[in-house]
Amino acid sequence: MRIPSWHRLTVALALTALAAANGFSGTEIGAPASYDVPPENWEARTRLADSIFAPLREAAAAGRQVISQPAGAAKVQFQADEQSGALYLVFANQSGVDYPLDGAGTYIIKRSLKDGSFLQAKVFVQDGPGTYLRLFPQGDRTLMDVYLFGEPFQTRIALPVSFERLLTAPLSSVIEWSAAVVDWPLVLAPAPGPGDRRIEEIVQSLTSRLHGLRDMDDGAMDGAGRMVYIATGAPAGKGGFNCSGFAKWVVDALYAPLTGKMMDIAPLKSRNAARNNTWTTRFEEELDPYFGLDWSRGLARTIAQAQTGAAPTDAQIDVRDSDRLPYIRDVGYPVPKLEYLLYFLTRRNPGTFYVGSVNAQSMLAVSEGTPTLRQHHHLIVLLPYFDLKGVFQVAVMERNVRTSLASLTRRYGNEYVHLVRIDSAGTFAPPRIE
């Protein structure tokens, strides 16, 4: 088969030009050559063009089959499914022994069961269900929306080709046609770097030690390595960790190799005096609603000072600089948006992890006239990285267990989380629990 010249353009040149136009540098998100186009299946779609463009009944009757592509290209599984008033023609690339519907490079073409017209195509550009393109016919052109982790990233991008032509075109051509508009260096998964490997090693280290941790309300390890109660500092015997004590234990794994001791507890509990006013001071004293926020900032400030020799401000340790989501002071970001937010943070600062303070509005009526406050009631540790396959991962650690972003959203889907950043550079050695 003769491949048209427009199929042979190199995506590397397009990405290089786009990176320069947008001011990206290799130190920010990596050199353009580090980005790979997802596995292609345009040849499989071309071979089955007769089924794609066939009359509706004939297209619906097309049987499932596996198509071999040239050497080095993934095999592709084709199937036709009817559901919700539409016919879906699915071209899924092989990954291992499976053909995941949400695997990178999968094309899903949607046709109306009413009149057979093409409605849209969905193309996954990273592994996982949330990062994909939606393509729509628009006369002799095509409109494209780009989604990252379920959130619209760039929308209504006009491609200078018909929808029908696009259905058998390489994904690399779609990238080339939109290179002047779409921020492809951020959309395509990067090659993992040293920072990613460091976070992955930390995740493995923590996961291997979770079974040896004990749970205890108000429990933490003090500066001398003794298990104590956070509120009083009194000895707690064998003790254990609550969510605050666990987060401290994780950060102590960086702090202790630098200083020879664990962090003292008293400075971590210190309230932010600048936040108080005559109206809220007594409620801070009575209710301590910002304990989680102050504790997380204390952890970030203490480890940063040990690493750099200078005490940072709240503005320097808080995650306030996202240009994707609005930051709310002392509140942070919606819990369901965490994956989207962490993706961009990890692209910008690989090797960084985050302590999050989960919070919600609270009306704790100690007395008449209590104001509406944010109750920072739970601490989590978020460790984001790209694995060896370039798949974005977020390990969630909280109160002695490993959970997930999906679990956080189920439990705290209507709440917010405030993030502080922790640089993972250095020796990571979790303190031993006797």
Whole-model pTM: value is: 0.86
Binned at pLDDT 50, 70 and 90, residue 147 comes out as: very high
Binned at pLDDT 50, 70 and 90, residue 26 comes out as: very low
The answer to whether 311 and 303 are in contact (CB under 8 A) is no
Residue 101's alpha-carbon distances to 89, 94, 107, 180, 229, in angstroms, are: 11, 10, 9, 29, 49
Nearest to 48 by CA among 36, 62, 38, 60: 62
Give CA–CA dist 276/287, Å, rounded.
Answer: 13
pLDDT: which is higher, 289 or 354: 354
Most trustworthy range by pLDDT among 4-13, 68-77, 307-316, 358-367:
307-316
pLDDT tens by residue, 279-292: 455 555 555 678 99
- Tokens describing residue 344: 């961009």
For range 186-207, the mean pLDDT: 95
Burial 382-411 (b: 16+ CB within 10 A, else e): bbbbbeeebebbbbbbbbbeeeebeebbee
Cα 223 vs. chain centroid, distance in angstroms?
A: 33
Give CA–CA dist 16/27, Å, rounded.
Answer: 14
pLDDT mean across residues, the chain? 88
- Provide the pLDDT for residue 276: 52
State yes or no: pLDDT of 278 exceeds 70: no
The terminus-to-terminus CA distance of the chain in angstroms comes to 69
Give CA–CA dist 192/196, Å, rounded.
Answer: 6
Give CA–CA dist 109/81, Å, rounded.
Answer: 10
State yes or no: pLDDT of 36 exceeds 90: no
The answer to whether 290 and 376 are in contact (CB under 8 A) is yes
pLDDT: which is higher, 71 or 342: 342
pLDDT tens by residue, 397-413: 999 999 999 999 999 99
Give CA–CA dist 189/6, Å, rounded.
Answer: 24
- Provide the pLDDT for residue 389: 87
Binned at pLDDT 50, 70 and 90, residue 78 comes out as: very high
Nearest to 62 by CA among 94, 91, 24, 93: 91
State yes or no: pLDDT of 106 exceeds 50: yes
- 3-state class of 154 per DSSP? strand
- Provide the pLDDT for residue 333: 97
